């Protein structure tokens, strides 16, 4: 009895589905972020950072309804990264630029390298040492739920490196008709399709007792299915554009209009 209401209220999140409720919550926060950004970008970032920090320190997050614990991805924490993205892109659209400085580039490169060594070498003692200083977990840990600072800095550092190296940016840029571009243009639909395929894949692996051949084959079929779905959505999008253009052209065609009543028209004809 409690399962369906919990699902509808996003209080119970099935595996592979926990990111969509977080996206929904971020969309609800977007108007507030945009409003604050209109007043001052620094104000928007300051408010967002404060919410992120307090949520991490005091473990404030939406609770699950059927089981103990929080949402796997806390929107009160992840909104900080979302806000940084919104403020940055609007700043660029207004003619601003992302500052490029050798010191910033070096710091970003060093942090990405440190992160690689930190994770691959499992040197968690670094975080433990920082925590021993009395710093909160949101600053020292690697928690994904509350978007700990090391994770946040890694995303920002990697992004800064990409936009600071023109050759790398050109290498990653793809034309509009590239399959990956088409896939990304319909990313939300593809994400939902991938989520459904992932759940189906779990059932298939369970039924086949994790057959070593079935797993890779299902992955290949799943990827092909998502690309096919993306091209289907792209074809529908283009057809919609064509129909809209035809309607617009038809609306602009000049149509002769007869002014005056029919009686006056016949009288003028007899004359």
| pLDDT tens profile 184-196 | 999 989 988 998 9
Arithmetic mean of pLDDT, 220-227: 96
More confident residue, 134 or 260: 134
**Cα separation of 113 and 7, whole Å?**
41
More confident residue, 110 or 264: 110
* Per-residue pLDDT band at 265 (split at 50, 70, 90): very low
Contacts of 81 (CB under 8 A, 6+ apart): 147, 152, 155
Residue 186, both tokens: 């319909």
- pLDDT attached to residue 13: 74
pLDDT in tens, 106-164: 999 999 999 898 888 877 777 777 777 778 889 888 889 999 999 999 999 999 998 88
- Coil, strand or helix: which one is 19? helix
Examine the pLDDT at 252 and tell me if it is beyond 90: no
Examine the pLDDT at 260 and tell me if it is beyond 60: no
- pLDDT attached to residue 98: 86
CA 208 and chain centroid, separation: 34
* Per-residue pLDDT band at 247 (split at 50, 70, 90): confident
Beta-bridge partner residues of 255? none
Per domain, the residue ranges of the chain are: 1-97, 101-173, 181-249
What is the H or E stretch that residue 79 is in?
A: helix 75-93
At CA 193, angle to CA 186 and CA 213, rounded to 5?
125
Arithmetic mean of pLDDT, 55-76: 89
């Amino acid at each position: 009895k409690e399962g369906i209401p919990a699902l509808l209220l996003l209080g119970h999140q099935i595996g592979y589905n926990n990111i969509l409720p977080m996206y929904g919550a971020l969309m609800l926060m977007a108007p507030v972020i945009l409003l604050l950004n209109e007043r001052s970008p620094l104000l928007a970032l300051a408010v967002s950072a404060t919410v992120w920090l307090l949520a991490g320190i005091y473990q404030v997050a939406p609770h699950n309804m059927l089981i103990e614990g929080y949402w796997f991805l806390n929107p009160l924490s992840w909104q900080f990264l979302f806000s940084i993205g919104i403020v940055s892109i609007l700043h660029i659209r207004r003619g601003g630029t992302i500052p490029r400085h050798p010191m910033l580039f070096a710091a970003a490169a060093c942090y990405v390298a440190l992160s690689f060594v930190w994770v691959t070498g499992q040197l968690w003692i670094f975080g433990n040492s920082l925590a021993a200083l009395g710093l909160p977990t949101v600053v020292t840990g690697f928690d994904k739920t509350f978007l700990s600072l090391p994770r946040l800095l890694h995303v920002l550092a990697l992004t800064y490196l990409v936009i600071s190296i023109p050759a790398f940016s050109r290498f990653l840029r793809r034309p509009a008709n590239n399959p990956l571009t088409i896939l990304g243009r319909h990313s939300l639909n593809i994400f939902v399709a991938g989520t459904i395929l992932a759940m189906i894949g779990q059932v298939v692996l369970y039924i086949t007792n994790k057959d070593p051949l079935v797993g890779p084959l299902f992955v290949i079929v799943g990827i092909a299915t998502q690309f096919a779905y993306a091209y289907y959505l792209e074809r529908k999008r283009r057809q919609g554009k064509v129909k809209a253009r035809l309607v617009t052209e038809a609306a602009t065609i000049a149509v002769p209009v007869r002014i005056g009543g029919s009686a006056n028209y016949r009288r003028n004809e007899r004359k």
